[in-house]
A and B are shown apart, each in its own frame.
Chain A
Amino acid sequence: DVKVTQSSRYLVKRTGEKVFLECVQDMDHENMFWYRQDPGLGLRLIYFSYDVKMKEKGDIPEGYSVSREKKERFSLILESASTNQTSMYLCASSGEAGNYNEQFFGPGTRLTVL
């Protein structure tokens, strides 16, 4: 079974803090994704990556950056957390590079910024 894990289930941070969300997948997938999910807005893509050290902006990249130094790990960074970044963050992965096939999701991180 594909397993996608996220470093924290719940996280509470202060405004202005630098926040790291980590995602690891164990199926040698090429593609990895970061989404945020908010009531009424659904899932929105922040960034994705189809290869090590490669990244592409999604629909809402402002205020976020990402890092993919190893194939299995994709990190989402909030450079200076703000209250409007309070949300559920979901990581996903899928197989062949550029072939966005079946996606598998992690359990999510509920981030609260105070």
Chain B
Amino acid sequence: KQEVTQIPAALSVPEGENLVLNCSFTDSAIYNLQWFRQDPGKGLTSLLLIQSSQREQTSGRLNASLDKSSGRSTLYIAASQPGDSATYLCAVNPSQIPLVFGKGTRLSVIA
């Protein structure tokens, strides 16, 4: 059974720091991996989608990488800002069944 783990569960950094959020999954047979952002009490916003054939995707200050063989993905956030404070979730898309989510990393960026 596919399992997704995100470590750490919470992270606090000063403004301006570059940071990396980690996501690991147990079964490398995936179609894609998706990173989401969730603000308190809100729905999930899709940040990046990496197809299984890709190694990375970039959007603005965000860069997500995927290493299928080792079951790992990272979300890199450059020059963090207080507005980046949120919970970040990763989810993998296994073969023919819906997404499997990690429990998220709660990020606080301190001004």
Contact = CB atoms under 8 A, between A and B. Distances in A.
A103 B46 contact: yes
Interface string A58-71: 10000000000000
Interface residues of A, number: 25
A98 B103 contact: no
Contacts of B79: none
Interface string B16-40: 0000000000000001101010000
Contacts of A41: 103
B43 A100 contact: no
Interface string B69-111: 0000000000000000000010101001111011110000000
A90 interface: yes
A108 B43 contact: yes
Contacts, number: 51
Contacts of A43: 89, 101
A103 B34 contact: yes
* B: interface residue count bin: 20 to 34
A74 interface: no
B34 A107 contact: no
Contacts of B101: 42-43
A74 B43 CA distance: 17
Interface in B34-81: 34, 36, 41-46, 49
B98 A106 contact: no
Nearest to B104: A42
Contact of A106 (B32, B43, B104): B43
Interface of A: 4, 31, 33, 40-43, 45, 48, 58, 88, 90, 92, 98-108, 110
Q: Return the 6 tightest CB-CB contacts between A and B, nearest first.
A: A42-B103, A105-B44, A105-B43, A43-B101, A107-B43, A108-B43
